[in-house]
Copies of this chain bind each other. A is one copy, B any other.
Amino acid sequence: MPVGPAHLPTLPALDGVRWGTAATGMRYQNRDDLALLELPADTIAAACFTQNHYRAAPILIAQHHLQTTPPRYLLINAGTANACTGEPGLQAATDSCAALAKLTALSPAAILPFSTGVIGEPLDTAALTAALPAAIESLSTAPAAWERAARAIMTTDTRPKLATATCSLAGHRAQINGIAKGAGMLCPNMATMLAFVVTDARLSAAALDALCRQATEKSFNRISVDGDTSTNDAVLLAATGRANTPSIDALDSPAGRALATATTALFQDLAQQLVRDAEGATRLVTLDVTGGATSADCLQVARTLSTSPLVKTALYAGDPNWGRLVAAIGRAGIPGLDPARVKLAVGDTPIFANGQPAPHYNETQGRALFAPAELRIQIDLGMGKHREQFWTCDLSPDYVRINADYRS
């Protein structure tokens, strides 16, 4: 029961960018679980990978390949993460790339593998390889191909995540299309999530890398479902350079800023779609933490609230149990926090200030404030001028049920 209506924009074609999908039968029946993204020659790409010490085999191979040569294909499978699989796992990821390289007459290094699903189980390379011809056959620039790909990479997601944007760069139009997946193991520093975003803008490799990092930091690193970080997280941003836009060498130019604004907004759109579709989620909560002595303090408070089971179960119940929010702020480990200066509001209605409930606040009002499926909680730490925005969801019995049942 995701939060809010499904968000299925039609993604316009991007010149030379094609998606294909196929079914390997590895884990899922009667659905595609393999997605293949073809990028035109001269595309450049940047990526952010999981910060987990255990990086899945495909992540290790993708990092290595990305350093070697620009990618021409992304090869993504859902259902098996190929993580914690040791040397055989690395071999399986390598073999998958080699099989596709043979079919496309490319170097294996031009192929980036991505996997999502259960950790610790071997990747069925034979099944994956057998599905490659069908995936290649189905390659298409059509809008429907983006949606098919977004569906093929789903695991516990209940709906596909797609976003598109345009921006004007020195009077010329650039397009950005993206898809993502992820519903659990979502945590501040990346999530069990994959996001693939392609633009036709022209920019330098350094600018693209900076853009990927900056937009990820303000989007996928600002969400939390359960505080867990996957072994397979990856965000990839590719630029074909096929739009008739000026080349961007630095993000602090007018065109750079315009592209960064549009890209960050699109990343945030995808990130919020992940939270809306989080396992068992019934509410989307925006946390606005202001008045921080540092940005890190603001984020620490947001992360503490967004991983507190007591806060999240109260949010699920629509229970105005603001005491749990305040207690979580108090245990967030913010040096020098003065309990008397912290202010809490839902929407714009003050709830707590001066160490006690705000004047005129009452329980009936609280119930109304905490009732909506989408709400914004404001925390003013009263210490400085820093602020951060963060998105999270509630914790429902369905989250437990989904995660207790995922493999069984």
Q: Could you tell me which A residues sit within 8 Å of B by CB distance?
A: 51-54, 81, 83-89, 118-120, 184-185, 187, 189, 226-231, 307-311, 313-314, 316-317, 319, 321-324, 326-331, 334, 337, 339, 352, 354-357, 395-397, 399-401, 403-408
Q: What 7 A-B pairs come out closest when comparing CB atoms?
A: A119-B323, A86-B356, A54-B330, A317-B404, A313-B403, A120-B323, A53-B330
A400 with B400: CB separation less than 8 A: yes
Residues of B within 8 A of A88 (CB): 356
Chain B residues whose C-beta falls within 8 Å of the C-beta of A230 in the assembled complex: 327
* A381 CB to nearest chain B CB (Å): 11
Known: A86-B355, A352-B84. A323 touches B52 (CB 8 A): no
Interface CB pairs A-B, < 8 A, 13 = A53-B331, A81-B323, A84-B352, A86-B356, A119-B324, A185-B310, A187-B331, A228-B309, A317-B403, A317-B404, A317-B405, A397-B397, A400-B400
Closest to A405 in B: B317
Residues of B within 8 A of A231 (CB): 323, 326-327, 330
Nearest CB of chain B from residue A321's CB, rounded to whole Å: 6
Q: How far is the CA of A352 from the CA of B231 in the complex (A)?
A: 16
B contact residues around A399 at 8 Å (CB): 309, 313, 400
- Would A330 and B52 count as touching, CB distance under 8 A? yes
Closest Cβ of chain B to A184, distance in Å, is 7
A408 interface neighbour in B317, B323, B356, B400, Cβ under 8 Å = B317
Chain B residue at minimal CB-CB distance from A402: B313
State whether A404 touches B316 (Cβ < 8 A): yes
Task: Kindly list chain B residues whose C-beta atoms are within 8 Å of the C-beta of A84.
Answer: 323, 326-327, 352, 355-357
Chain B residues, CB < 8 A from A339 = 53-54
Select which of B228, B319, B334 is within 8 A of A404 by beta carbon.
B319
Q: How far is the CA of A399 from the CA of B397 in the complex (A)?
A: 8
Q: Is the beta-carbon distance between B356 and A85 smaller than 8 angstroms?
A: yes
| Copies of this protein in the complex | 2
When chains A and B are docked, how far (Å) is the Cα of A81 from the Cα of B399?
29
* Chain B residues whose C-beta falls within 8 Å of the C-beta of A323 in the assembled complex: 81, 83-84, 118-120, 231
B residues within 8 A CB of A54? 326-327, 329-330, 339
- Closest partner residue, chain B, to A53 (CB atom): B330
Inside 8 A of A329's CB, which chain B residues have their CB? 53-54
Most chain-B CB neighbours within 10 Å: which of A53, A86, A321?
A: A53
Q: Whole-angstrom distance between the alpha carbons of A356 and B92 in the complex?
A: 14
Query: Which residues of B lie under 8 Å from residue A334 when comparing CB positions?
Result: 53
Contact A319–B120 (Cβ < 8 Å)? no
Q: Among the listed B227, B229, B397, which residue makes an inter-chain contact with A401, where contact means beta carbons less than 8 Å apart?
A: B397
Would you give the shortest CB distance from A222 to chain B, in whole angstroms? Answer: 17
Instruction: Decide: A310 near B83, CB < 8 A? Known: A229-B331, A331-B52, A331-B229.
Output: no
In the assembled complex, the Cα of A395 lies from the Cα of B89 at a distance in Å of 31
> Does A309 contact B119, Cβ atoms closer than 8 Å?
no
| A167 vs B307: C-alpha distance when bound (angstroms) | 42
CA distance A386 to B53 in the complex (A): 20
Q: How far is the CB of A369 from chain B (nearest CB, A)?
A: 14
CA distance A327 to B316 in the complex (A): 27
Q: In the complex, what residues of B have CB within 8 A of residue A337's CB? A: 53
Contacts of A187 in B (CB 8 A): 331
Q: Which residues of B contact A87 (CB under 8 A)?
A: 355-356
In the complex, besides A53-B329, A120-B321, A189-B331, 13 extra interface pairs with C-beta distance below 8 angstroms are A53-B330, A53-B339, A84-B326, A84-B357, A86-B356, A88-B356, A118-B321, A119-B326, A120-B323, A226-B309, A309-B309, A313-B400, A313-B403
How far, in angstroms, from A126 to B327 measured CA to CA in the complex? 26
Q: Find chain B residues with CB under 8 A from A308 CB.
A: 226-228
Tell me the minimal C-beta distance from A238 to chain B in angstroms: 27
Quick one: closest B residue to A361, CB to CB? B120
CB distance from A220 to the nearest CB of B (A): 15
